[in-house]
Amino acid sequence: MRLLFSAGEASGEAYGASLITALRNLLGPSQNNVNFFGVGGRQMEQAGCELVVNAKEIAVVGLAEVVEHLPRIYRLFHQVVQEAERRRPDAAVVIDFPDFNFRLAGELHKRNIPVIYYVSPQLWAWRPSRIELVRKYVRKMLVIFPFEVDYYRQRGIEAEFVGHPLTDAALPTPNREEFACQYSLPLEKLWIALLPGSRRGEVSRIFPRLLETAKLLGPEYVYITPVASTLDPEWMKTLLEKHSGPPIRLSSDARASLALCRAAAVASGTSTVEAALLNTPFAMVYQVAPLTWRLGRRLVKLDRFAMPNLIAGRDVVPELVQAGFTPERLCAALKTILPDGPARTAMISGLADVRRALQSPDQRISASERAACAVLQALGQTA
């Protein structure tokens, strides 16, 4: 069996790695006859996926940014298509990253390669017309938010809720003293996590504002920035060269960082769900290129942006987006939830509601195992 995987972001790569591992475990001895290849990063490679294209090369965000990098993305895209043509996989599992993966699904459909979409793009919020691409190119949708099942079934598309992969991960129990020693952090101060995203474009815009926020909050706190697997730590260090505020410590473990921090500022995306699952109060921030915002805002059908707020159906965490994302406003939001009090208590209660909503009723197997079973079933195979 040959399976093509395509994941273009840090979160998708983590889900892809877990899914590959689950498939190997389900297949048992026959796993040695399975070949995984495609688009991903270090975690997928460690799980046994041969990388045709590294996700770092295509992980850009926004319409304006895609245009800027289009020649390189186009070349790498066709590299993947040519490899699919040569190897003829039994199926492809594409993970989120819709601008790239829908086009890939179209090319694979032309070659009679079935496509399974794991982690649905947010069509219910953004460019819903792409539902026709799902209907035409995708054999089955494997979704990680329960409300997405009805969304697709109402439109005549087969979808299965497999659970959110992050709910299966054991909650980290890092030792604060050991973590402090590893990253030279003072134990007597409160720690704040600053998560600027997983793609260079968004980090370039968001991180400077997070650094300005740290300057406003001052040296009373300790600031930790986890570096996503899709980013180069040396490049992240260059962004700190002109920073004149309190020291920023770069870490390699986002979950441990979030778990140990009193509060966080988190770029919109999967990390907001992770923060919710770890019970870390936070403010969601985001900013894209002005052209991307002007063009894209007309297509967004939602009043909320943060995934925990969408899941809860109410404002659990503050959202600071585009012009509303300023160091001053973020500083004020963090000062509200750092001390004990009604605001912090209410947010922690809301995050608990989000965690409950993401859990599958069937806790006997993990989300990745359920997804692996669904992939094999879609191919007419059993573990």
- The token duo for 294 is 């002007």
Tens digit of pLDDT for each residue in 213-251? Answer: 999 999 999 999 999 887 899 999 999 998 999 999 999
Distances (CA, A) of 340 to 68, 214, 336, 343, 372: 46, 20, 9, 8, 42
Q: Are residues 195 and 54 in the same domain?
A: no
Tell me: do 237 and 301 sit in the same domain: yes
pLDDT of residue 299: 54
Position of tokens 């909650």? 171
**369 and 351: one domain?**
no
**Sign (positive or negative) of CA dihedral 43, 47, 50, 52:** negative
CB 267 within 8 A of CB 206: yes
Nearest to 354 by CA among 311, 307, 304: 311
User: Do 124 and 19 lie in a common domain?
Assistant: yes
> Per the structure, how many domains does the chain have?
2
Residue 309's identity, in one-letter code, is N
CATH number of the domain at 303, please: 3.40.50.2000
The predicted model gives 69-86 an average pLDDT of: 90
**What residues make up the domain containing 150?**
2-163+360-378
- pLDDT at 342 (0 to 100): 97
> Does residue 342 lie within any of the structural domains?
yes
328 and 223 share a domain? yes
pTM (2 d.p.): 0.74
Retrieve residue 51's tokens: 């990388």
Residues 6+ apart with CB under 8 A from 30: none
Same structural domain for residues 238 and 365? no
Helix axes 270-277, 10-27, angle to 10 degrees: 70
171 within domain boundaries: no
Residue 169 maps to a domain:
no
In which band, very low, low, confident or very high, does the pLDDT at 31 lie, cut at 50, 70 and 90?
Answer: confident
